Structure 1
C-alpha cells in the first residue's frame, strides 16, 4: 500500500508526460493564432490551428487517463490552455469585428471572478477546483463556436450556415460557461463552510 502511495506521488510530480507536452503545444499555439488572425489574416490556417487545439484538448485528457499520466502540472496546464485560447480567440475576433465586444468581455469576466476566489481556496488547503463536466462542455461548445464564426465572416451559403451554427454554439457555450462558473463559486462556498481554515506555519 505504501509503495502504491509513493508511486502515485511520484506520478503526480511528473512534468514531461505526453498529456503535458500536448498542453504545452496548445499553449504555444495561442500567439500563433493571434498573429494569423490579426497579421496576414490567414483565416484558413487559423481555423486549422483551432481545430487542432480542440482535438488536443480532448486528447490530452484521454491520454492522461489511458496512460495513467495524471499530474499536478497537467491539472493546471489544461484549464489554463483552454482559457488562454478562449481569451485569444475572443480578442482576435472582436478586433476583426467578427463578434461584438460584449462577447469578448463577458467570458474573461467570468474567469476574473473565479480567480478572485483562489486566495479563499488556499486558506482551506486547495490550490484550485477540480475541472467538472459542465466546464468542459462549455469549453467544447466555445471551441466549436469560434471557428464557425470565423468561417462565417464571409459571403455565400457556407458562410451563412457557419455563422448560424457558430452563434448557436456560442450562445450555449456562454450560458454553460457562466453556469459552470456559478457552480465553481458554490463549491468554494461549500469548502469555506465545511473545511476548517488551514494553519500556516511562520517562515524562518
Structure 2
C-alpha cells in the first residue's frame, strides 16, 4: 500500500486493498481506512468495491464511493465523524436513489468505528498484513482447521506446531481472507476462536 499524509497529519495508505476488494479503494480519511479494515474482516462481507457515479438520472446526488457486498445485500458505505440529521424528505429521496441503484445505506460514524474491542482488534490484525507465514505453517494451520473445525489460537498452535508466531500467522492469513474470527466481542488473544474460510 502506498502511504500519504492526511490533513490531520497522520500517515495512512492512499489506497486500501484486500482479497475482498475488486480494486484498490481510494482512502481520503483515516476513518474510512479503519472502516474498510473492519469490513474486510467481517465474515458476512463477500466483496468490497468502489463505484464512480458522477450523475444519477439527472439528479445532483452522487453515489460515488465504497459499496460493501454482504450476504444480506449491497450497501453504500458512508463514513463520517458524526451522523448527519436528515429530514423525512431527505431520507425518502436518499432511499429512492439508493433503491434505484440496488443499494441500501450503511452509515458509520467515528463513535461506531472506534468502538472497542472491534477497533483495536482490526488494527492489530492489519498490523500483521505483511507478515510472512511459511508455506508449511500455512498448510499445518489449514489442515488442523479442516480436520477439527473452529478452534482457539492456542489450540491451533498446540496441534499445528508452527515455526512462526501463531498470532501473527492467523492475523496475516485473516488479512488474506483465508481465516476468520470474531473481532467484535472480545480482545484478540490466545483464546480467540478461528475458523477456516
TM-score interval (norm. to shorter)? under 0.3
The structure carrying a bigger helix percent of its residues is 1
Scaled by the length of structure 1, the TM-score of the pair is: 0.23
Name the TM-score, length of structure 2 as normaliser. 0.23
Structure (1 or 2) with the greater strand fraction: 2
